[in-house]
Amino acid sequence: MMGPRQQPQSALFYDFSLEDHVPQDHLLRAIDRFVDLGSIRAHLAPFYSHTGRPSLDPELLIRMLLVGYCFGIRSERRLCEEVHLNLAYRWFCRLDLTDPVPDHSSFSKNRHGRFRESELLRHVFETVVARCITEGLASGQRFAVDASLIAADVNKQNSTRKEDWNTQNIDPAEAPRAVREYLDVLDHEAFGAASEVEPKFTSHSDPASQWTAAHKAPAFFAYSDNYLIDTDHGVIMDVEGTRSIRQAEVGSTRRMLDRVRETFGMQPDWLIADTAYGSGPMLGWLVERKIGPFIPVIDKSARTDGTWSREDFEWDPENNRYICPEGYDLKQFRRNYSDPNRGPTGKGVAKYRARKLACQACPSKDRCCPNAELRTITREEHEDARQVARDIAKTDDYVIAMRLRKKVEMLFAHLKRILGLGRLRLRGPYGANDEFILAATAQNLRKLAKTFPIPVTAPAAP
């Protein structure tokens, strides 16, 4: 028998509890146990006036942003609609059924103002990282680093060639916010000062973004999202946005390692990375700080014509010379200099030469230098550190390290496919950094929730 048609009728009173309507296994319940925002009010206190109208609770705005980035809702207008409708979102944001949801414009006002001035988003990120360390998810023994291209919110049609872009004619007072931020970071080592090479095109709407291509794909405007992770459980220890060039990405690694040491007192025994980080200065910096470089070395000394390469010559550090397979020595200087400025400096690239008479009479000249009168070998300034990395590459630990490095790539895949951060919504270097920090915070919170799920209690027997 068909039941009667249901007639909508409002009740006079409701006995309703948000707590009862949020499932026990909901992701936000698991995340809420690890969200500690009790310190943000003290952190923001110097940036609020002591008089005037009371402002919105900053904890509410941060909780709403965490909801958005945990569930891939990056549009603040849509986020306000979802929090208004979704009971679980309201419960996480500490909103009752009758509490109003902030307007989407409140996020822009606070983000470009006190949030950015106080670096609140980084403070929240570091609070979550500290919780991961407390819970035993990061030991600080092995770190891995990598970068991924994230498309900027710009259009190729709204761009010009670099030679047509004159920053001298830009009035900062009338320029858009992204252009003002571009002017602010012209001398920053992560952006303008990272390289003297200028990009082919410059975007009018976001000039700090880099015109770049990866894997021989069509070029586009992008920023680089740099992750420094602990390989124990894939916790993101630090994050930074830079230009999408190798120099900026390698430079960010040094800044992130220094920042982790200053903030958490951690310095890894290993640093795992790909070949892009295997330059001599980077390896020298790591070895100087007693960090093992599990990194493939950028080495162009190998020869392709079948003659002996540099690795076929034995290095004698005590006498500062190379010894060829025939036993002859190659030296940088063959006499002592009374003026130290004319002698070896120990910096830059040094050339080691054999004796001309020895090479001419050598029976292996055709295998060594068939087209030259004598053999020369160049040695870079950080060759000792490069050799340390080569020796590490021959160990069993290196094989393990290359497998652990994939955890960074997995985090980037999760960032783009699950959290939906394949393209930025905010413009400018500061906007890109805000998005990267919020996304990394969400990933660490999801990691905590997945590693420590809420215990499921059996229902009581009737």
**288 and 314 co-located in one domain:** no
Q: Are residues 27 and 144 in the same domain?
A: no
What are the pLDDT tens digits along the chain (462 aa)?
A: 565 666 666 665 666 778 888 888 899 999 999 999 989 888 888 888 777 777 788 899 999 999 999 999 988 999 999 999 999 999 999 998 888 999 988 888 888 888 888 899 999 999 999 999 999 999 999 999 999 999 999 888 888 887 676 665 666 667 778 888 888 888 888 888 778 777 888 888 888 899 988 767 888 999 999 999 999 999 999 999 999 999 999 999 999 999 999 999 999 999 999 999 998 899 999 999 999 999 999 877 777 788 888 888 888 888 888 888 888 888 887 766 555 555 445 456 788 888 888 888 888 888 888 888 888 888 878 888 888 999 999 999 999 999 999 999 999 999 999 999 999 999 999 999 999 999 999 999 999 999 998 876 655 555
Residue after which a domain boundary falls, among 83, 118, 153: 118
Q: Evaluate whether residue 377 is within a structural domain.
A: yes
**Does residue 5 fall inside a structural domain?**
no
In this structure, is residue 423 part of a structural domain?
yes
Domain harbouring 159, CATH code: 3.30.420
Would 12 be classed as within a structural domain? no
In this structure, which long-range contacts are made by residues 240-244, counting pairs with CB atoms below 8 Å and at least 24 apart in sequence? 240/190, 240/433, 240/436, 241/190, 241/429, 241/432, 241/433, 241/436, 242/147, 242/190, 242/191, 242/194, 243/190, 243/191, 243/194, 243/195, 243/208, 243/210, 244/147, 244/149, 244/210, 244/212
pTM of the model: 0.87
How many structural domains compose the chain?
Answer: 3
Domain that holds residue 322: 310-338+345-381
- Residue 459 in any domain: the answer is no
Examine the domain organization and report whether 408 and 273 are in the same domain.
yes
Q: For residue 4, is it within any domain?
A: no
Residues 172 and 280 in one domain: yes
Q: Are residues 28 and 163 both part of a single domain?
A: no
Is residue 30 within 8 A of residue 13, CB to CB? The reply is no
407: in domain: yes
| Residue 194 contacts residue 248 (beta carbons within 8 Å) | yes
* Same-domain pairing of 237 and 371: no
- Co-location of 211 and 73 in the same domain: no
102 and 162 together in one domain = no
Residues 245 and 363 grouped into a single domain = no
* Same domain as 63, residue 102: yes
Q: Fill in the amino acid letter for 454.
A: I
Do 86 and 110 lie in one domain? The reply is yes
Tell me, yes or no, whether 94 and 154 share the same domain. Answer: no
Q: What is the residue type of 451?
A: T
Q: Is residue 125 part of a domain?
A: no
